[in-house]
Amino acid sequence: MNFLEERIRKDGIVKPGHILKVDSFLNHQMDIALLDEIGREFKRRFSDVPVTKVLTIEASGIAIAYPVAREFGVPMVFAKKSKSINIEGEMYVAEVESFTHKNKNQVIVSKKFLSPDDHVLIIDDFLANGCALQGLISITESAGATVEGLGIAVEKGFQIGGKIIRNLGYRLESLAIVDAMDPETGAITFREQP
């Protein structure tokens, strides 16, 4: 087990309905030392690719992307979620349809902050159905920039998002992949990773 898997097993709470609560250290209250370690780990895993921007999505993604951008010494950009906006040609917009909720959301990034010269590392805290990540990929490619990889703290391996992103040929690194959870015992099964 790596440091994040250990922490999830220690402080994560499994609830019925495939819910894993990590809000005491990852996405409501944040353990900064843990996040700094996540930043170093992504730097290690993506040390072979050029990165000019770290891209994430509000809100909790910001706290994962911060230490990653810090390690790479590049700016961080966060996409905003929007129900409907005046686009005015100033924004890259991805329409993202939720698998779960059936509704559509917009993900937006100002055109000022992504260009064809950019090599983008996409970072987020959670990956389940992958809707948000697909929006971030779409926006990066709308800008003509290169998706160098995607880094996720916690992937729900029993949901479809990771498979879709990997099938599309993207390099996706998830620090912890949860393959099964038992709300009765609280047991969490992580996927073995090389």
180 sits near its own copies (criterion: CB under 8 A): no
Give 28's DSSP letter. Answer: S
160 sits near its own copies (criterion: CB under 8 A): no
Closest to 8 in 3D by CA, of 19, 21, 18, 16: 21
Binding mask 91-110 for its own copies (x = CB under 8 A): ------------------xx
**In the complex, minimum distance from the CB of residue 165 to its own copies, in angstroms, rounded to a whole number:** 23
Say whether the peptide bond before residue 65 is cis (omega within 30 degrees of 0). Answer: no
- Candidate list 63, 121, 137, 188; residue touching its own copies; CB under 8 A: 63
DSSP 143-189: TT-EEEEEEEEEEETTSSHHHHHHHTT--EEEEEEEEEE-TTT--EE
- Candidate list 9, 18, 23, 119; residue touching its own copies; CB under 8 A: 23
77 sits near its own copies (criterion: CB under 8 A): yes
In the bound state with its own copies, the residue whose beta carbon lies nearer, of 77 and 152, is 77
- Candidate list 8, 20, 22, 69; residue touching its own copies; CB under 8 A: 69
Q: Strand, helix or coil at 100?
A: coil
Element (H, E) at 131: helix 131-142
- Candidate list 2, 6, 75, 85; residue touching its own copies; CB under 8 A: 75
66 sits near its own copies (criterion: CB under 8 A): yes
Closest to 56 in 3D by CA, of 72, 69, 73: 69
- Candidate list 76, 96, 123, 181; residue touching its own copies; CB under 8 A: 76
Do residues 47 and 78 make contact, with C-beta atoms less than 8 angstroms apart? no
- Candidate list 113, 158, 171, 173; residue touching its own copies; CB under 8 A: 113
Phi (first) and psi of residue 97, to 5 degrees: -100, 125
Interacting residues toward its own copies by CB under 8 A: 23-24, 28-32, 35-36, 58-60, 62-63, 66-67, 69-70, 73-78, 80, 109-110, 112-113
